[in-house]
Structure 1
Amino acid sequence: MTSWPVAGILTAVGVLTLPGLLGSDRGAARRTERLEALATWTEMLRDTLAAAAGLEQAVLATAGIAPAALKHELQHVARALRSGRPLPGVLRDFARSADDPLADVVVAALVMAAEQQTSHLSRLLGELAEAVREQVAMRQRVSAGRASVRTGIRVTVIVTLGMAVGLVVLNRPYMAPYDSLSGQAVLAVVGALFAAGFVCLTVIGRLDEPVRLLGPAAQQEEAVAAGKGDLR
């Protein structure tokens, strides 16, 4: 429409990137929901253990009534336990499927209790559930702040695009300097500045995840240590 190649490139980049940047942060919402489910399940385990049930029985009892966000993973845990698999291995599989640093912390406490008969597990689970809920509250505050930033970006983008389209359609002679090579270079610089601003906003709004206790790197280290032990 404009015969400006730079405008075509900027439009393609904007169509591919702006919906994810300006739309709702569904990934953060799903992770917050899973953290809330993890806290609820941890409290279920604590309460079930307080009723003098064993750890494996508590996991089986709570898997069927777990929150929806973790129901699939916990149902897999229950099926694995009923098939005769040892509890520590099943819990490690759950940590892999949950794919969350806080889930690793809860699973690490459960694995330690299953392997070494740790005392005061109920109290520990209560403290872990409280820590997870604090993390959820923090993420909700961050999400609220990011929502206001996204609103500001939306207004900026809409006003800028509206002015550009209006000038091109209603007052094309005013935009005639962009028909030249130097005008296209200026347009490229303007587009690069907008892109740099969006990248900075994305980096600022990103949350750094803590190191996973039971992630792939930790499991690889355990496997290497086990292999060295076998050689000895």
Structure 2
Amino acid sequence: MTLTPEALVAAVAGALAVSGALIAVVGLVGTTSAPVARPKGPLERWLRAADGQDGTGPLSMWADRRLLVSGAGGAGLLVWLLTSWPLGGLLTAAAIVGMPWILQPGRGSKVQILRLEALEEWVRRLADIHTAGISLEQAVASSVRSAPKTIAPYVARLTSRLASGWQARLAYRAFADELNDASVDSVAALMIMHAADRGAGLSAALRELAGQLSEEVLMRRKVEADREKPRTNFRWVSLFCMGAFALSMLSGAYVQPYNSITGQLVLLILAAAFVAVLVWMRRMALTKPAPRFLPPADRDLGEPS
């Protein structure tokens, strides 16, 4: 039996239709089991680390850009049918999906700076609230409504963990895990130490820490400005190479050798080499984050009390 493109498209369409029906049933009926908190395994931690500090990596891109992924699938299928190149359709879809990754190489660092700036503002508000004589946990709960929008969901989850009976040290470490930044570890470490001894002077320590965060934001903005030129070069080189590839596909005589199986394998090797060069160039244009010093909260087997 010969597998034709039409038969493969029909099989994929049938699988997608069945999957869509199952998802629709689950969405309408729902599930009865409540979600159970569990420690993350090494593979899940690696995937989240590969996804980036800010949720701008491949996993978040799949979740946040479903329309882009759907359009890429349609464009890839169209290229496959027009050129009879299965690999050509796959490369087209991959290029479209990876376009935000190419056009915004520094987006993750910029988002992290905005979060750090919001954290500095939130820490200053915590210092003012705690001056009134209430506990740190009460100050955190009182700051939810006034927390900057950039970190408001993280502060809300921190408050929920504290209110639901989590140990304070685990709740603060989980807060640091979500923001995933060495500077956030400093804030969480101060809160953990205060939760252990309840000593005086927390407001003054929070204000001093907010000043350090402000200096960190200024320094990171300067670094980002210096990195902007190599990022611009990375974008133009990537777009030029992909444009040249797209135009070459219109030349029948030039791409004739790629019609065979051997030609498709060669094309796959060239595409893999091109992607490797893109990854290398992108890493050169990114700033390596400082290593964190707090261990992940899920490594501690002491569950919320």
Superposition TM-score, scaled by structure 1 size: 0.69
CA distance in 2, matches of 1:143, 1:71: 25
**Alignment partner of 1:135 is 2:213:** no
CA distance in 2, matches of 1:154, 1:26: 13
Instruction: Return the offset for 1:39.
Output: 0.9
**More displaced, 193-202 or 40-49?**
40-49
Change (3 A) 1:128 1:80: same
- Deviation string 1:63-109 (CA, Å, 9 cap, x unpaired) is 4322222334434555777x696xx9356425414523433322321
SS in 2 for 1:210: coil
SS in 1 for 2:150: helix
Change (3 A) 1:11 1:116: same
5 Å-filtered alignment, 1:47-196, equals: 47-49=128-130, 51=131, 53-56=133-136, 58-75=139-156, 89-90=167-168, 92-98=170-176, 99=178, 100=180, 101-169=182-250, 171-179=251-259, 183-196=263-276
Instruction: Return the offset for 1:196.
Output: 0.8
Superposition TM-score, scaled by structure 2 size: 0.56
Residue 38 of structure 2 aligns with which residue? none
Residue 88 of structure 2 aligns with which residue? 7
Residue 197 of structure 1 aligns with which residue? 277
The root-mean-square deviation of aligned C-alpha atoms, in Å, is 3.6
Query: Of the two structures, which has the highest relative contact order with CA contacts closer than 8 Å and spacing of 6 or more?
Result: 1
Change (3 A) 1:35 1:92: farther
- Deviation string 1:204-224 (CA, Å, 9 cap, x unpaired) is 42634523425226634xx49
Residue identity over aligned pairs, in percent, reads 29
What 5-or-longer segments of structure 2 have no aligned partner?
A: 1-81
For the 8 Å contact 1:77–1:91, the answer to whether it is kept is no
CA distance in 2, matches of 1:197, 1:156: 11
The one-letter amino acid paired with 2:207 is G
What 5-or-longer segments of structure 1 have no aligned partner?
A: 225-232
Instruction: Return the offset for 1:128.
Output: 1.7
CA distance in 1, matches of 2:254, 2:155: 63
Instruction: Return the offset for 1:198.
Output: 1.5
Match of 1:39 among 77, 97, 120: 120
The structure whose residues are more often helix, as a share, is 1
**More displaced, 124-133 or 178-187?**
178-187
